[in-house]
Amino acid sequence: MTKQKLAEWIDAHFDEEVGVLQQLLRVPTDTPPGNNAPHADMVADLVKAYGWTAEKHAVPQQEVRDYGMESITNLIVRRPYADGGPTIALNAHGDVVPPGDNWTYPPYGGVVDNGYIYGRAAAVSKCDFATYIFATRALEALGVPLKGGLELHFTYDEEFGGLLGPGWLLEQKLTKPDYVIAAGFSYNIVTAHNACLQLEVTVHGKSGHGAMPETGHDALQAATRILNAIYGELPELKKIKSKIAGIDSPTMLVGRIDGGTNTNVVPGKVTLKMDRRMIPEEDPVAVEAHVRALIEEAVQGVPGITLEIKRLLLSHALRERPGTEKLVASIQQNAETFIGEKIPAQGTPLYADARLYGEHGIPAVLYGAGPRTVPESNAKKADERLNLEDLRKATKVVASTLFDFLGA
């Protein structure tokens, strides 16, 4: 009966929830450039209307700039209840990849059309700002005794890796919840995800006139050897299999190449940016050592060529921890009630900032508003969208899960 009251409150306030999501979508947070503090200010003002105080934790400006962004203010909304229960944190990120081209709806319009809301971050993950705010409001509107505490973590560094988002809050000892639910999709619970290594490889040669190429040392020709070595490794990676459902094999690719000065000049410098995804069973230290050796051996002995290899990112895998099973059981039970099916708990080849809670020993799962698969939502592509019924269902499931943990 109590959970039915939660659902009824959410239905009665659903138009308001959609309106809040529209506000969230209309303040751009393109990363890069990563000027995200204005969005945090807007969210802090928004929750003030509910009588909540959002603590603003601004990451020092120089640290943010050195990291490659412009401004980050992470928010914590603390809702303490009676003693004797756990603290649950709900985390969603506000930074987004730039919209790109080919939109048929304005990327920051929050347009509602035929049961969908359109906009950058409609599905990943400004939608879950709304999910978590309204799940919390529904819980508190019940007027029943609650124990423990709830924290809303609205953070602004996921696209760059999370170190200045949840990672920063945890390192500064500003929070240490007992459980975490982080932004995800309605039709599955993510309990594990891949690790990710990103390297920037700079190949130094020597420029020369195109009519006399022997006067230079061709950095692009050397970089081609590295590309061949990287892509030549892919059949071996396919042989490595994860035992976790939803995760297959490691992957590796070069996502960006920059170099050369002109058509008629021997390239003196070429930079490659590469991405190596690791399944949770792999050792990131061993993987990085192997990839570095692979790159170095590819150009060993090539005259006039030197290398710089810089690590851009090393994000660890999310793994199940003691307590994860309690979160999963509650979410699955509530999803059966409000979605009408038993949703799976599995891994994903993506990586997210939820792993940072796991690195601090906190059981964390990804669950929130969204479709069954990433491609359905156009996440990170043109016309990103969210089915509003998925927002409604996810809010009911999260609110009921909060009640399971915090109901006195």
Let me know whether 254 and 338 are in one domain. Answer: no
pLDDT of residue 42: 98
Domain that holds residue 147: 1-193+317-406
User: For position 205, which CATH number holds?
Assistant: 3.30.70.360
**What is the gyration radius of the CA atoms in the chain, in angstroms?**
23
pLDDT of residue 315: 84
Distance CA(226)–CA(215), nearest Å, equals 22
Sign of the C-alpha dihedral, residues 191, 194, 195, 196? Answer: negative
Let me know whether 27 and 56 are in one domain. Answer: yes
Let me know whether 36 and 142 are in one domain. Answer: yes
Cα–Cα separations (whole angstroms), residue 369 to 34, 96, 348, 359, 394: 24, 16, 16, 25, 5
The last residue of a domain, from among 276, 295, 315? 315
The last residue of a domain, from among 292, 315, 338? 315
Q: Is 278 helix (H, G, I), strand (E, B) or coil?
A: strand
φ, ψ dihedrals at 29, nearest 5°: -140, 45
Let me know whether 15 and 76 are in one domain. Answer: yes
pLDDT of residue 351: 84
φ, ψ dihedrals at 2, nearest 5°: -60, -45
Amino acid making up residue 392: R
Instruction: Enumerate the H helices of 13-56 as residue ranges.
Output: 14-26, 37-48
Cα–Cα separations (whole angstroms), residue 55 to 26, 99, 212, 275: 22, 29, 63, 35
* Whether the Cβ atoms of residue 250 and residue 277 lie closer than 8 Å to each other: yes
Let me know whether 251 and 281 are in one domain. Answer: yes
Q: How many CB atoms lie within 10 A of CB 50?
A: 12
User: For position 118, which CATH number holds?
Assistant: 3.40.630.10
* Whether the Cβ atoms of residue 117 and residue 180 lie closer than 8 Å to each other: no
Distance CA(381)–CA(391), nearest Å, equals 20
Let me know whether 321 and 310 are in one domain. Answer: no
pLDDT of residue 115: 97
Let me know whether 155 and 229 are in one domain. Answer: no
The last residue of a domain, from among 288, 315, 342? 315
Let me know whether 248 and 390 are in one domain. Answer: no
Let me know whether 66 and 107 are in one domain. Answer: yes
Distance CA(125)–CA(369), nearest Å, equals 8
pLDDT of residue 350: 84
For the record, the structure tokens of 208 come out as 């020369």
Q: How many structural domains comprise the chain?
A: 2
Amino acid making up residue 155: T
In the predicted model, residues of the chain with pLDDT beneath 50 are: none
Let me know whether 43 and 170 are in one domain. Answer: yes
pLDDT of residue 197: 95
Q: Which of 88, 92, 215 lies closest to 146 in space, CA to CA?
A: 88
Let me know whether 288 and 338 are in one domain. Answer: no
Q: Is 368 helix (H, G, I), strand (E, B) or coil?
A: coil
Amino acid making up residue 156: Y
Let me know whether 20 and 110 are in one domain. Answer: yes
